A and B are shown apart, each in its own frame.
Chain A
């Protein structure tokens, strides 16, 4: 830099204001601020809905699953009593059919969404994520449909 006789350290462009009270600077919107000109988001609120679903289904599952554990593993002899006859006895009642059906759907969807999050977090390559999630969704749909079919078509007199 050549010797400068000016005592000011501020250069000409920086120092002189282009704007004053009569000629104000144009107002610049904050980045990402939603205005009337912003196009509608095409992403939707899926992630927020998934987040909310985890909390709502979680509360219901606490009741359903702990009740299930009490019945199957703790009360009346614990696991030793379980057998075809025990299942037939419980599914004779629509109450327990609905209980198990709701538990199946909520637990599978809650677990599938949890695993989706885990895959998104740790699988760094796009292709790996695609395949893992494809496998996850296939297994989830299969399991939900199979479980639903079993509850609805259960036949105590199969023999």
Chain B
């Protein structure tokens, strides 16, 4: 480890990095998402045209990535709250991170069919 750095590696630092990266990605999506939803004030056709792009297979994969980012940020955010407010939180921060990762993997497996099923049906037929 280089001297004079605050970066300590392992679970603590990498969960912090992942929390930042997912947070920034979600914020940029949110900005675009409010703009696309604002099209309901233009016309039903304008809105439906843009939403049609959300239903294409490529964007469905991006949606799966968005779900991945949001679920990690949400679960790890709860872990951060536990570290800050629960007296034993700092002691169990590593165990809590691996719990977050475990729950995240299960939820992401569960999200495969609902989020990507439509795209798969379009690509490969029913």
A residues adjacent to B (C-beta < 8 A): 55, 58-59, 61-62, 65-66, 69, 73-75, 77-80, 82-85, 87, 104, 107-108, 111-112, 114-115, 118, 139, 143, 146-147, 149-150, 153-155, 158-159
Q: Given A58-B81, A80-B118, A115-B27, does the pair A147, B44 have CB atoms closer than 8 Å?
A: no
In the complex, chain A residues whose CB is within 8 Å of the CB of B44: 83-85, 158-159
Count chain B CB atoms within 10 A of each CB in A69, A75, A104 and give the residue with the most: A69
B4 at the interface (CB under 8 A from A): no
Q: Which of B26-70 contact A (CB under 8 A)?
A: 26-27, 30-31, 34-35, 37-38, 40-41, 43-44, 47-48, 51, 54-55, 60, 63, 67, 70
Q: Are A83 and B51 in contact (CB under 8 A)?
A: yes
Distance in angstroms from B1 CB to nearest chain A CB is: 20
Contact B60 A62 (CB under 8 A): no
Interface residues on B, range: 35 or more
Which residue from chain A places its CB closest to the CB of B121 in the assembled complex? A80
Interface window among B7-15, B86-94, B95-103, B109-117:
B109-117
Interface of chain A: mostly helix, strand, loop or mixed: helix
On chain B, the residues within 8 Å of A62 by CB distance are 74, 77-78
A155–B60 alpha-carbon span in the complex (Å): 29
A73-B115 in contact given A58-B81, A150-B41 (Cβ < 8 Å)? yes
Looking at chain B's contact residues, the main secondary structure is helix
Q: Decide: A55 near B81, CB < 8 A? Known: A79-B63, A82-B54, A150-B37.
A: yes
Least CB distance, B99 to chain A, in whole angstroms:
15
A147 touching B34 by the CB < 8 A rule? yes
State in angstroms the CA–CA spacing of A80 and B60 once bound together: 10
Given contacts A62-B78, A82-B55, 13 further A-B contacts (CB under 8 A): A69-B70, A74-B111, A74-B114, A79-B54, A79-B115, A82-B54, A143-B30, A150-B34, A150-B38, A150-B40, A153-B41, A154-B41, A155-B41
Is B105 in the interface zone, CB < 8 Å from A? no
Chain B residue at minimum C-beta to C-beta distance from A154: B40
Going nearest first, the 3 A-B pairs with the smallest beta carbon separation are A111-B27, A84-B44, A74-B114
Smallest Cβ-Cβ distance to B54: which chain A residue: A79
